[in-house]
A and B are shown apart, each in its own frame.
Chain A
Amino acid sequence: MAGVGWMAGVDAVGRFPTCPVWGAMRSSPTPAGYRPDCLTVLEHGGHGTLTVRWDGPSMATARSDIAFLYRRAGFGASPAQLDAVVAGGYDAAVDALLGAGTRAGAGPDPEPPPTFAPLPKLADVRTDPQARSTYAQMVREQGTELTGWWVRRMVATADPFTEKLTFFWHGHFATSITKVRVAAAMLAQNEIFRRSGTGPFDALTLAVARDPAMLAWLDAGQNRKEHPNENFSRELMELFTLGIGNYTEIDVREAARAFTGWRVDASRTGFQLAAKQHDDGTKTVLAKTGNLGGEDVIALVTHQPASARWVCSRLFSRLAAPVAPDANPAADAMLAAYGSTLDAGAAVRAMLRSPAFLASRGKLVAQPVEYVVTTLRALGLRVTPTAGGSADASTGAAAGAGGGALPQRAVLAALAGLGQVPFQPPSVGGWPENAAWLTTASTQVRTKFATAAAAAANLAAIADEPAAGRPDAVAHLLSLDGWTSRTREAMSGAGGNPARLVALALLSPEYLTV
């Protein structure tokens, strides 16, 4: 829709830079499907009149939709990022976001993965008290280093989609360092998700199944020919590939036999098939009979039609809105893209371009990791790796070019208080969602974090606005459509103080729900 008209009483000339922030025009948020229009001044008629071109809702809608896309499939977009992509339209923005990792000249990796010194051998740990305490300390420190690295990487990356999808797979194949303990193994698993997360799902599942962290996590060592352990086999079907109702207990038992002898090698970094512990008898899994190995079972389960539905519904549930496997509103497009090659990346792309995805606004509460990372990125805050120090917290605001910093210790403490520490999912089922994140305890931790983040940030862009326009400037900074009248009233108490306004914004229902 477009049109030409004129309006009186407007003292401005030229095209609006992108579109007016919605909140500047209305004091309540946009009703569903209704967005502000975009006006371009064609002629300055004198006497305070303008002739303008009315571009209809398209530009503003595109900006708002792309901001939403970046929050769901990345960690938010800066106003400048939105300015750069909005003219190209929504679909091009999807392609740009998903292609960021493969663009040439992206520059050096801002946060290359750490390397970890090998842990003392368990045999030594058992006999030598000194080795035992070294082991415990190394496990602790390496775990912190690993977690801090991933958070810093999520904050710094130019390819947020890859990190977001890596986080999705981490929750899907949820493995916790609290049991695995070996940071190097957790990192190796993480790199599988990063490298293969948009590839064929059968290859991803096989890589994860042979990955030492997963082998340790689900007790592969106990899965022996004479005494099969069903732990991995059950979770493979129930959580990773099929979902409940698409296999039987007999399938679980038979598949467990196929995985007997799968274990971590002596170096604790590789996969090994212990032939003597492997059951090479005849098994029947999902109606297929033969001397099935673990690889055969993975191929079998991932190529079931139910598996495609399951995987697509999990993607939709975590990136769009919680759905049951048989009620995924984007299923048609996603399944077509996923196809017979089990192309997970294509399924994500199809989902992000589906109307059902754009219709899922407000259906997710930002998970703590998303919340913290998105906030740090929006405020231009770096995470400074701290080697046990705490003095830099007060000087953090002064560090960095154009933005401040928060000490890693404080960021990880906030994540712990909010209940979501990367590499520590509560169980193999992954993290909870939505209302589970909204507790009185989390409100308190969030308040502390938001206040600290706002205090550390360079908020010149807000301070440069006249006081009355600052709430809208904050919405613009966070790429939000605007504020409810309730939030505006709460902000009015802040007297235009930029840090207080930003803290309130970061604690608002508008920002916490995506």
Chain B
Amino acid sequence: MPFDRRRFLIASGVTGGLAAATTAGVVSYRELHHSAAQEPLAGGGVLVVVTLYGGNDGLNMVIPVEDPAYRAARGELAYSAEQALPLTDGFALHPAMTGLRKLWDDHRLAIIRGVGYPKPDHSHFRSMAIWQTASPETASTTGWLGRWLDAQAKTPAGGSSAPGASSAPAGSSSPGSAAALRVVSVGPTLAPLVVGATTAAAAVPTGPFTAPGGAIGQELRQLYRPDPVDGPLAARVASSGADLFTVAGTLGPVLAGQADQDTGPAGQLDGGGGDATAAPAAGTATSPPASATVAAAKAGELGAQLDVVAACIRAGVPTRAYSVNLGGFDTHIMEKATQAKLLGELDAALTRFQAAIVGDPHGTAVTTVVYSEFGRRVAANANDGTDHGTAAPVLVLGTNVRGGFHGDAPSLTNLDDGDLRFTTDFRSVYATLLERVLGTEAGVVLGSQEHFPRLAFL
């Protein structure tokens, strides 16, 4: 595996020969649970990284409503002070982010302004690679949390962990390796930022924690028992199928404890529940209340991912960092409607997540960070959208967070070829998170020569 972008495309399956690596990181809930029982989370912070793919328009998320240059540059795309949710310093939050506005009032939302890196790249892939490897100058082979994971695997506490050690075959009683479980990527594939040189994060699936009931449910339980004649992929069909029942049986009750935590089938099938063709399979182990389904639907796919994270945290899974994501921010045309929908989903998902963990003993240790590969250009384009830009705000939320603004707001008039000049290097954010949340010397991840100023948001 000689080169970085190959790793970045593991998730897309284009690398062929590395399919084994992708598979190796995928663990079952059974394995997660085993580890939670064997080696529960004991102290230390938990980091949740939310990646927004596509380049989120930071100027229309944390809005300089009182800057005339904003209105001039954005025209119809601009939000007025009346429309947006006021913060301080002449800034306001996007109208859809009502939940985060409350967190701001509670001083649990930090907004780091103008975050970027030198010589910004306008390619989605390249800029996302830079953010995820934390290596703007040279193409790196590893993600920043992957390198953290590598360092953890070397420590005696985690024992020795070979890559792929978590790929226990179906039916095996051996749990996922504790080291691999220190970082979990939610979703079927691994986010590049959690791939290290020798270790990769575990990937756990999202989805509703309900299993088919009735006769078909009984037969499927039988169908997904391990069989020694199964090849590796057939075994994985069986184990993933069995996982559905394990999840419903073990994590389901945890979620059912709070009414609004019961996950509806958000984003799955046609969501409306009106699929007449599904009647024969409709018997489910649990059926969420309608209001909970609506709340879950509003939080969307990201909400479903964060439900998994919340469940793991509350179950004491010994994971220190989670990776989740939301895509679709590439708003070249008719941006307002698209971004409002996505930021509404982000807001609902983050609010739901905070509410889910706030009362839990492990919940106070959780810090969530939200970033995108770049912001948008300052001026709107000719299609009521914006093109790829540069610096943008990074959001950090959690009980331990020092709320308010951090970092300087970039000027809207002193531009670099139409783009914002960054004021805070993103590696300052990472260094702060590594030291204050993960308790690791930042140099281990960012290079021993690093001297990025630490920020005061934690």
Residues of chain A having any CB pair with chain B under 8 Å: 28-29, 122, 125-126, 132, 135-136, 174, 178-179, 181, 222, 229-231, 234, 238-239, 244-245, 313-314, 317, 322-325, 327, 362-365, 390-391, 393-394, 396, 406-407, 409-410, 413-414, 416-417, 419, 426-445, 447-448, 451-452, 455-456, 484-487, 489-491, 493-494, 499-500, 503-504, 507-510, 512-513
Contacts and interface: CB of A to CB of B under 8 A. Distances in A.
Interface string B273-310: 01111101100000000000000000000000000000
Contact of B219 (A234, A436, A440, A500): A500
Contacts of A410: 270, 275, 277-278
B222 A365 contact: no
Contacts of A507: 220, 223, 241
Interface string B311-343: 000000000000000011010111001000000
A179 B244 contact: no
Interface in B214-247: 215-216, 218-220, 222-223, 225-227, 229-231, 233-238, 240-241, 243-244, 247
A244 B205 contact: no
A117 B289 CA distance: 43
Contacts of B219: 490-491, 493-494, 500, 504
B123 A490 contact: no
Contact of A178 (B227, B328, B382): B328
B188 A419 contact: yes
Contacts of A452: 275, 277-278, 280-281
26 contacts: A122-B383, A132-B334, A135-B334, A178-B328, A230-B126, A324-B17, A325-B16, A365-B236, A390-B276, A391-B276, A394-B276, A413-B269, A416-B269, A429-B9, A433-B19, A434-B236, A440-B207, A440-B247, A442-B240, A444-B208, A447-B212, A448-B269, A452-B278, A489-B222, A509-B234, A509-B238
B229 A29 contact: yes
A486 B19 CA distance: 27
A437 B19 CA distance: 12
Interface in B94-126: 122-126
B334 to A, nearest CB: 7
Nearest to A499: B280
A451 B278 contact: yes
Contacts of A447: 212, 216, 220, 281
Interface string B16-31: 1111101100100100
Interface in B1-53: 2-3, 5-6, 9, 11-20, 22-23, 26, 29
A513 B237 CA distance: 8
A489 B23 CA distance: 28
A206 B30 CA distance: 49
Contacts of B11: 429, 432, 436
Interface in B177-226: 188-189, 205-212, 215-216, 218-220, 222-223, 225-226
Given A229-B122, A393-B277, A486-B223, A513 B234 contact: yes
B384 interface: yes
Interface string B377-401: 0000011100110000000000000
A495 to B, nearest CB: 9
Nearest to A230: B123
Given A413-B269, A443-B243, A513-B231, 20 more contacts: A234-B125, A245-B3, A314-B16, A322-B16, A394-B276, A407-B277, A429-B13, A430-B14, A436-B189, A440-B247, A443-B241, A444-B244, A444-B265, A448-B281, A484-B230, A493-B219, A494-B215, A504-B216, A504-B220, A513-B234
A323 B19 CA distance: 8
Contact of B188 (A230, A234, A439, A509): A439
